[in-house]
Structures are given as C-alpha cells and as structure tokens.
Amino acid sequence: MRGASFNTAALRAATDLAPPGMVLEVMTLHGIPHFDADVEAAGLPHEVTRLREAIAAADALLVATPEYNWSIPGVLKNALDWASRGGEASPLRGKPAAILGAGGRFGTVRAQTHLREILRHNRVRVVGLPEVLIDSAESRFDAAGHLVDERFRSQIRRLLEALQQEAARH
C-alpha cells in the first residue's frame, strides 16, 4: 500500500527482468473493501471485480508480499479471500504463480510460507524455486526504489523463467 513499498519496487524491478515473451502488469490492492458475505451477495464491488478479472486474464501471477507479524498482511489475505470465492469459478484455480517478498532480517520467509499454503489450498500452481527472499530491503534498493542488488536481480530473472515454463505447461 505504501508509495515507497519495497515490495511494489520489487515488482517494478521484475517488469524489467522479465524474459522475452513475458509482459508484467503491476497491480496494487488499494480500494479493495473487507470481505463481507452480505456485500458479496448484494453484488461484487468494482475493485473486487477488477481484481478477479485481472487474475482471470493473466496467464500467470507474480505475488509480492511483505511480512507482517510473521505472516502476510491482512490486506493481501483479504484480497485472496475475495479472489478465492466461487469454488471452481475462482480465477485462482489452476493458475500458475510465483512469489517473492522484500522485508527485514529474514526476507519475508515466514510470510512466504503462509502465502504458499493459502495459494496451494486454492489449487494455485506455485513455482517452488528459486526462493526470492529479499532481506534487509533498505540496503537492496536505492533512494529512487531501484533494485540495485545483482544477486536478487538474478534470482528474480530465474524465478520469472521458471514461472514462464510453468505457464507454458498450463
């Protein structure tokens, strides 16, 4: 959500690192209301429809997550809850995906573990390796939000190649 989010910055870096044939569109989760089954029954809010349609239209997903209290932020969980609705009609079903995260000392490892489980429950086909755990994020990006650490740039490149292969198998 933050304008200066390291995770949004990592997604921007990924748009530059994508292999030939892959185009990334960065989406943030602004404006998505809390899940409420009464709201759902009355008709999906515009931002939820936008999210679900974007997931449905994509050949694959790249999800970037910070770590909040050893897990994913409630904002991301809430968005996944909305996207998960509908059983077989959920746009998450069978979708190839890769995950990464930027944060503090452990590079979001605990958040990514939870995210992997949530996605697996929704039959998302999450790429296993490489793990991209951008630790000490404040030292990996410059003041303008560019990812300047070559090791992580290379990891993201390899992650996207693995995602492309998974999508081709789809």
Ligand X SMILES: Cc1cc2nc3c(=O)[nH]c(=O)nc-3n(C[C@H](O)[C@H](O)[C@H](O)COP(=O)(O)O)c2cc1C
Residues 6+ apart with CB under 8 A from 63: 76, 97, 98, 99, 100, 115, 119
70 counts as binding ligand X under rule CB under 6 A = yes
Residues 6+ apart with CB under 8 A from 141: 6, 9, 102, 147, 148
66 counts as binding ligand X under rule CB under 6 A = yes
The answer to whether the CB of 94 falls within 8 A of the CB of 48 is: no
**Cβ proximity to ligand X, 7 vs 84, nearer residue:** 7
The 8-class DSSP code of residue 129 comes to S
| Smallest separation, CB 88 to ligand X (Å) | 32
User: Which stretch in 66-74, 83-91, 125-133, 161-169 sits in contact with ligand X by CB under 6 A?
Assistant: 66-74
| Smallest separation, CB 104 to ligand X (Å) | 3
* Among candidate residues 150, 8, 126, 124, the one with its CA nearest the CA of residue 75: 8
x/- map, 83-122, ligand X, by CB under 6 A: --------------------xx-x----------------
Give the binding site for ligand X (CB under 6 A). 2, 5-7, 66-70, 103-104, 106, 137
